[in-house]
Structure 1
Amino acid sequence: MADDLNKGLEGVLVAESELSSIDGDAGRLIYRGYPIEDLARGASYEEVVYLLWHGHLPDEDELATFTESLNEERTVDEDVLETVKQLADAGEQPMAALRTATSMLSAYEPEGDADPDDFDATLRKGRRITAKIPTVLAAFERYRLGEEPVDPHPDLGLAANFLYMLTGEEPDDLAAETFDQALILHADHGLNASTFTSMVIGSTMADIYSAVTGGISALSGPLHGGANQDVMEVLMEIDESDLDHREWVEQANEEGRRIPGFGHRVYNVKDPRAKILEERSEELAADGEDKWYNYTTTIEQYLSEEQGLAEKGIAPNVDFYSGSVYYQLGIPIDMYTPIFAMSRASGWIAHVVEYQDDNRLIRPLSRYTGPEDQEFVSLEER
């Protein structure tokens, strides 16, 4: 087995997990046995986080207690906000600012260096991280607009509160529900690159701040996070073109351009998360501007049916529809990947705790391909 080389760990089984499962051929995603469709349409993001962390959906009392504990942790220390302001003023990218601020949050952790085997303490720290990331991101956006941050709203859920802190106005029900669904859809997704990064860090028994910061760093790479931003930039290019959006897609195809948001490392059919966000995009279009929804559906129909991508196992992924959904909610394009991190942090935390409960340091092998038997020559004689 040690002689087999699997670049990117393709097909290599490295862990067992009870958290999420993906059937790429059937287009099925479950969190702890629950279909993603049921959770997205029937639960709140807070309920899903509780499910991932505690293994069961909360009852009313458990949810009330958990939600209250999250809400109490939303405030971010002034020193952290000052650093966020400095990063915004310096023109830093949002993901880099989030990475820096998340790492800095550990300096103000009230439990300090708790025993790494104390998983309850790890989850309490994870709760603080999950609660504070939305505050950090909203503050960053407002600072770079030259405005002061908006204090968290005590009566809003995590999704609605983020939109409130971002804009200073309470979102309507459709916007709040749509964004809450988007967070649920991105909360976990098997052993992807950022989750595996968090687990590797966690396997050293490093603290959860280190693991989440590592997850953010991995997610910032263009091969992992960021495709929804690419999708929206394409849609805006279509909107600014003199061509009809159907003609634009045909011309792009003739030129050999790759349309982002199509294809997935795991799914061979349409991503189930994309189906849900497509429904939301249509609802938002009916409530406001419909061109973004029309662009995406036209592209999907053309590439999937007329160009035969569906027959080749290349179908829309979650990013194909999340980009236009976020845009319709008034979220800046370069905040899309940080929002991905805001949601996925709950999954990173769940995987780290699960792995550490039966921990073994992750230490794979590599094959040496360099020279052998080199003769050392002293510095004076080189």
Structure 2
Amino acid sequence: MSDTASHTASDVPPAPAPAPATPPPFRPGLEGVPATQSAICDIDGRQGQLTYRGFDTAILAAQSTFLETAYLLIWGDLPTAVQLREFEHEVQMHRRVSFRIRDMMKSFPAQGHPMDALQASAASLGLFYSRRALDNPEYIYGAVVRLLAKIPTMVAAFQLIRKGQDPIQPRDDLPYAANFLYMLTEREPDPLAARIFDACLIIHSEHSLNASTFSARVTASTLTDPYAVVASAVGTLAGPLHGGANEDVLAMLEAIGSPDQVEPWLDRAIAERQKIMGFGHREYKVKDPRAVILQSLAEQLFDRFGHDPLYDLACALERAAAERLGPKGIYPNVDFYSGLVYRKLGIPRDLFTPIFAIARTAGWLAHWKEQLGANRIFRPSQIYTGSLPRQWQPLDAR
């Protein structure tokens, strides 16, 4: 037997203890920390460019439709004419919601916020379509169709129910955007208004790993049903730091009052470190490309249906802010002009965020489908800042 073979395990020196791992730096809000890989959306914040699957959103807003864009986001490529026609037909045929959901909505308090009503209603769909087959392409297609079709119907239904009216049934002959506006008013919308609203849906439909989309992906990673995924994202979008800023922009413009008050108001707001609603974005150091599109859409509406004095205020504020805040990379974001567009379309102010949800459902579903393709449940670590180990004390000794 060789000398080497005669050694026992006890003769082998112990391996050195591994050095303690250095914890990664803590970044509040996970700012700049990659949490996933995605092929859906790309943002160039310095150039002011936003693309869906490689297509510039400005071109999509001008040339595409919301459902065609949704198809692109979810399945990765533009549909053929046959695919688009079939997809549009399926969505049209699934717009109606169960009378049980409508009855449930009638029990909601009339003063409740439409986002809360939408979250509850979206989650309830899981009761009606409880079969879960996340590896079945037909199941995924059907879930996409139902959610894209029924979310707008739910938003419009609650708007009428809280006014004491019966919901208006969708019209199968109207395109997606026109049908939603019809369900709000029971009047067929002007074609230009419908087209502009459709473009608004396109540019709000996706924006990378924002808070609600991250919420959707985390929920999706547990392999729950897609209705719970969308409901969780709606709940996240309802927070004032994510959705709803366009409502605050209108309130801000109304508080300023007139163009001659813009500069004094802005100087006071900057001096007092107030947040200027509709300005600044974590991703963009230039004007949000969606704000550029929305400003153009607003001007088209005003040319056709009459001017809005708040638009003059908004333009004056943008000019004044460019001098004071532009050097810091703070420019108008998507919320700055969207409220003016919705206001001219006659949409109630507290429906602005639910409309955001109607559009963003396409992006949430795209991320849901992508998450299923290479799933691993999200489980980030933390940096513990609590007490060191302590001794237990009996109740009578505390």
> TM-score range with shorter-chain normalisation?
over 0.9
1:150 aligns with 2:168: yes
Contact 2:290 2:334 (8 Å CA) reproduced: yes
Identity among equivalent pairs (%): 42
Residue 364 of structure 1 corresponds to: 380
Contact 2:95 2:146 (8 Å CA) reproduced: yes
Contact 1:273 1:318 (8 Å CA) reproduced: yes
Residue 350 of structure 1 corresponds to: 366
Unaligned runs of 5+ in 2: 1-21
Residue deviations 1:31-86 (CA, integer Å, cap 9, x gap) = 00000011000000010011011111112111110000001110011111112122
Residue 378 of structure 1 corresponds to: 394
Counterpart-to-counterpart distance in 2, 1:319 and 1:373: 48
Unaligned runs of 5+ in 1: none
Counterpart-to-counterpart distance in 2, 1:2 and 1:351: 29
Question: Offset of 1:255 from its aligned partner?
Answer: 2.1
Counterpart-to-counterpart distance in 2, 1:319 and 1:131: 25
Contact 1:88 1:140 (8 Å CA) reproduced: no
Match for residue 147 of structure 2 among 102, 116, 129: 129
Residue deviations 1:232-268 (CA, integer Å, cap 9, x gap) = 2223334xx4xxx222212312322433101001010
Question: Offset of 1:173 from its aligned partner?
Answer: 1.2
Contact 1:81 1:139 (8 Å CA) reproduced: yes
1:340 aligns with 2:360: no
User: 1:82-93, aligned counterparts within 5 Å?
Assistant: 82-89=103-110, 91-93=111-113
1:73 aligns with 2:94: yes
User: 1:238-253, aligned counterparts within 5 Å?
Assistant: 238=256, 241=257, 245-253=258-266
Residue 116 of structure 1 corresponds to: 134
Point out 4+ residue stretches in structure 1 off by more than 6 angstroms: none
Code of the aligned partner of 1:281: A
Match for residue 127 of structure 2 among 102, 107, 130: 107
Match for residue 208 of structure 2 among 190, 194, 214: 190
Counterpart-to-counterpart distance in 2, 1:187 and 1:356: 20
Counterpart-to-counterpart distance in 2, 1:98 and 1:354: 24
Q: Using the TM superposition, name which of 196-205 and 53-62 deviates more.
A: 53-62
Counterpart-to-counterpart distance in 1, 2:37 and 2:137: 18
Which structure is larger by alpha-carbon Rg, 1 or 2?
A: 2
User: 1:154-169, aligned counterparts within 5 Å?
Assistant: 154-169=172-187
Match for residue 247 of structure 2 among 229, 254, 257: 229
Residue deviations 1:156-208 (CA, integer Å, cap 9, x gap) = 11111110000110110111011000000011000000000000011111111
Using structure 1 for the length normalisation, give the TM-score.
0.94
Residue 318 of structure 2 corresponds to: 300
1:212 aligns with 2:230: yes
Code of the aligned partner of 2:231: T
Using structure 2 for the length normalisation, give the TM-score.
0.91
Contact 1:285 1:293 (8 Å CA) reproduced: no
Counterpart-to-counterpart distance in 1, 2:319 and 2:176: 35
Residue 281 of structure 2 corresponds to: 264
Question: Offset of 1:333 from its aligned partner?
Answer: 0.4
Question: Offset of 1:116 from its aligned partner?
Answer: 2.6
Counterpart-to-counterpart distance in 1, 2:62 and 2:37: 28
Code of the aligned partner of 1:11: G
Question: Offset of 1:129 from its aligned partner?
Answer: 1.2
Residue 34 of structure 2 corresponds to: 13
Contact 1:225 1:337 (8 Å CA) reproduced: yes
Match for residue 48 of structure 1 among 61, 64, 69: 69
Residue 325 of structure 1 corresponds to: 341
* Partner SS for 1:176: helix
Question: Offset of 1:380 from its aligned partner?
Answer: 4.2
Code of the aligned partner of 2:267: E
- RMSD, matched Cα: 1.4
Residue deviations 1:292-342 (CA, integer Å, cap 9, x gap) = 32222121112113x2x2222111111001010000000000110111011
Counterpart-to-counterpart distance in 1, 2:150 and 2:109: 17
Contact 1:88 1:143 (8 Å CA) reproduced: no
Contact 1:119 1:353 (8 Å CA) reproduced: no
Question: Offset of 1:353 from its aligned partner?
Answer: 1.0
* Partner SS for 1:215: helix
- Count residues with an aligned counterpart: 372
Contact 2:263 2:317 (8 Å CA) reproduced: no
